[in-house]
Chains A and B, each alone.
Chain A
Amino acid sequence: MGWCRLSVAGSRKVLRAKCGDFYMNRWILAAVVLLAAPAQAQVTGNAFNPAISLILDGKFSSYSGDLDGYDFAGFPLDPEIGPPPEGLSLGESELVLSSNIDDQFYGFMTVALGDSAEGTEVSVEEAWIQTLALPAGFSVKAGKMLSSVGYHNNQHAHTWDYVDAPLPYQVMLGGALGDAGIQVRWIAPVDLMLELGAEVLRGDSYPAAGAGDSGTGTWTAFAHLGGDLGASNSWRVGLSRVSFDVAGRSYDLLADQGEFYGSGSVDIVDGIWKWAENGNTRARTLVVQAEYLKRHEDGRLDVTGDTLNGSSPYDIAQDGFYVQGAYQFRPMWRLGLRYERIHGDNADLQPPLNGLLDTSGSPDRVTAMLDYSHSEFSRLRFQVASLDNGQGSESQVFLQYIMSLGAHGAHQF
């Protein structure tokens, strides 16, 4: 080709010279370098900064009835778990930074800022790196991460369809399983998406405690299978197991203090189905998801305190599920329904601790939700729920805003 083309694409400072003739090519390139020099000098460090986004969340919560927080018979809870504070409150403000580190690695961090009466709490929700260029369909992720078990577990809170996480996740995994560790994931080279993975985690986060096994106290394994049905439907199902050591998980038992030592497991079956007419998510869509979780723990509860002292074998068996849907009936508007039920059936403690903990119960909750998203970046939500914990019931009303500022993040399926 005996012609040349030269273009300078402004903001990205992409320079191109195309030319058939070798000498001509050199001249053009030299000219480009000269021309580009002042422009290059103006490039600030920002061009290489990570993508930054900020998630703002605030709500108004109202509870009728006499339940004080979450008190579920058969479910000794992670102390961090509970409904949002009554009245007006600020949720966690999340700062998300992410970027390719080089051609081999990608990095991601979420820092959550929480505001409470005691002051501002800063917590690292996630901080991990991931390989981009391992061969044969493998990738490795290392750092503090939300585990890829189940479906809901590694969905970020601002993408949830409801104000709060499903009850089975709250009571059995403390909201979501997240810990420091390493994940290996493999995608099979087949038509259906088949993903197999395993994680070794430190074992410091609920339901594990005490970083057992020299700081490798939690192990997970997961398998996900997914695909499409025509242009309008897509689905994914999964099976996961979390297995963990508990080296001293504390329980607040009124005047007494309890500590649990032992080991346990959580098994998860998950499924999600998404429908969008012709695959267009802007018009009408329907998402239905359901998960079943089963937790088992064997060990010993030590109680020390003013009223009681003693130790007893302590075995727990809990399970629960949720089924939820969200229907976008017109652009920007969604309506959702969720049903959750959890069931605890624990062996009673031996004397003198017998009767200290409620052994069994079957709380359930029905939730309805309506939300409006003016754009991809903003969402306003109204949610009502009726919770029955076995001893009493209450209704819950939430008004919430969730907004994301900054970089356009890609959302998981």
Chain B
Amino acid sequence: MKKSLLLTCFLVAAPGLADAEMSVFACEPEWASLATELGGNLLQVESATTGVQDPHYIQARPSLISRVRRADLVICTGADLEAGWLPLLLRQGNNAKVQAGQPGFFAASDYVNMLEKPQVLDRAQGDIHPFGNPHIQTDPRNIGLVAEALNQRLQSLDPANVATYEARYQDFRARWSKAIDGWSARLEPLKGAKLVVYHRSWVYLFTWASLVDVGALEPKPGVPPSSSYLSELLARLKDQQILGIIQSSYQPTRPAEWLSERTGLPILILPHTVGSVSGVTDLFSMFEVLVSELEATAAGTAK
């Protein structure tokens, strides 16, 4: 006991040793969680955003500048999701290792098939993303693709620990594939179910689970719902068999409540990332809660 206490003191007091672990700056909690799965205590992982923050609108805060300065690896979604703050952090953080194009910069969206690439780029369409919808993490198969690429990146950045990364990745891959099979089977009966969304941030979930998006509460991406638009939406939704309204925890609930009062549709605050709703502490529990919520709603509607 005494020995371990001494060791702890020594570790805390010796910054050289603490530096042995790689410092990872994750833009979103899902990538922080994935890095922890793959790197364990070889990595010191911090997420720039929490599960209850909107990753589109983050300020390039001084604390984030200092974190980028100390990072060995920056993991972000990319595809312009962080366009409003990440470029500035990279420029102001004065860290050559993590600039775009360097091995220390990892954009998850480079490794998945992007959906909803706009044919026409016009800001009248709202805050659209030219590289496609960046909310890739709601399809668990994308997490698997990103995990594979991230594993390779970690191994090339930290060759001394290749065996550990590989073992952890193989373990994660096996558990993740098994989990996906389970979730897919449970969502099978929901195929074709119609849902209203707050923001079009669920397209990857919908594609995976074959769900149907029948309308968004936002008239255009990034434009808050107005009452006239909601009335229009209400009229459009009439006489349709809809499962519910889904949104993220950081989005205001009043528009959904307004619609729910008039239609009787249930509101589902689904976890879009780790830490976004209570009980979601890692990627596994994120999809577990997500699938359970959808299942429970379907069961409730069927009654």
Chain A contacts to B: CB under 8 angstroms: 7, 9-12, 14, 16, 100, 103, 106, 130, 132-135, 137-139, 185-195, 224-228, 231, 234-236, 274, 276, 278-283, 331-332, 374-377, 405, 408, 410-413
| A413 x B94 contact (CB < 8 A) | no
CB-contact partner of A227 in B59, B62, B70, B111, under 8 A: B62
Q: Which residue of A lies closest to B145 (CB)?
A: A5
Chain B nearest Cβ from A235, distance in angstroms:
8
Interface residues on B, range: 35 or more
Query: Which residues does chain A contribute within 8 Å of B127, judged by CB atoms?
Result: 375-376, 408
Q: Which residues of A contact B69 (CB under 8 A)?
A: 137, 187-189, 193
Let me know if B49 and A279 touch, CB within 8 A.
yes
A12, A188, A332, most chain B CB atoms within 10 A = A12
Residues in B neighbouring A137, C-beta threshold 8 A:
69, 94-95
A331 touches B60 (CB 8 A): no
Chain B CB within 10 A, most for which of A11, A106, A138? A11
Interface residues of B in 120-141 (CB under 8 A from A): 123, 126-127, 130-131
- The distance from the CB of A353 to the nearest CB of chain B, in whole angstroms, is 47
Q: A7 near B113 (CB under 8 angstroms)?
A: yes
Q: Is the CB of A132 within 8 A of B222?
A: no
CA distance A228 to B50 in the complex (A): 14
Which B residue's beta carbon lies closest to that of A108?
B91
In the bound complex, CA of A234 to CA of B58 (Å): 12
Contact partners of A227 in chain B: CB under 8 A:
62-63, 66
CB proximity to A under 8 Å, residues B42-59: 49-50, 52-54, 57-59
What is the chain A residue whose CB lies nearest that of B91?
A106
Are A132 and B54 within 8 A (Cβ)? no
* B252 close to chain A: CB less than 8 A: yes
Chain B residues with Cβ below 8 Å from A103 are 99, 101-102
Q: Which residue of A lies closest to B222 (CB)?
A: A375
> Do B62 and A11 touch across chains, with their CB atoms under 8 A apart?
no
B131: chain A residues within 8 A (beta carbon) = 11-12
Q: List 12 A-B contacts (CB under 8 A).
A: A100-B100, A132-B99, A187-B66, A187-B94, A226-B63, A236-B62, A279-B53, A279-B58, A280-B54, A283-B252, A375-B126, A410-B88
- Measured between beta carbons, the chain A residues less than 8 angstroms from B100 are 100
Name the segment of B78-86, B160-168, B209-217, B264-272 touching the other chain: B78-86
A133 touches B99 (CB 8 A): yes
Complex contact A132–B63 (CB within 8 A): no
B57 touches A281 (CB 8 A): yes
B residues 87-111 touching A (CB-CB < 8 Å): 87-88, 90-96, 99-102, 110-111
* B50–A193 touching, CB < 8 Å: no
Interface contact A280-B66, CB-CB below 8 Å: no
Q: With a CB–CB cut-off of 8 A, which chain A residues contact B61?
A: 226, 228, 234, 274, 413
Contacts of B63 in A (CB 8 A): 192-193, 226-228, 234
* From B53, B66, B70, residue with most partner A Cβ within 10 Å: B66
With A193-B63, A194-B66, A376-B127 in contact, is A187–B83 under 8 Å at CB? Answer: no
Nearest-CB residue, chain B, relative to A186: B94
Report how far A12 CA is from B100 CA in the complex, Å: 15
Most buried by A among B80, B114, B130, B223: B114
B65 contacts the other chain (CB 8 A): yes
Whole-angstrom distance from the CB of A189 to the nearest CB of chain B? 5
Which of these, B80, B86, B88, contacts A412 with CB under 8 Å?
B88
In the complex, A274→B250 CA distance in Å?
19
Assess the A231–B50 pair: CB atoms within 8 A. Answer: yes
- In the complex with contacts A130-B91, A187-B69, A408-B80, A282-B60 CB distance below 8 A: no
A279 partner, pick from B50, B60, B99, B110, beta carbons under 8 A: B50
Most chain B C-beta atoms within 10 Å of own C-beta, residue among A188, A194, A408: A408
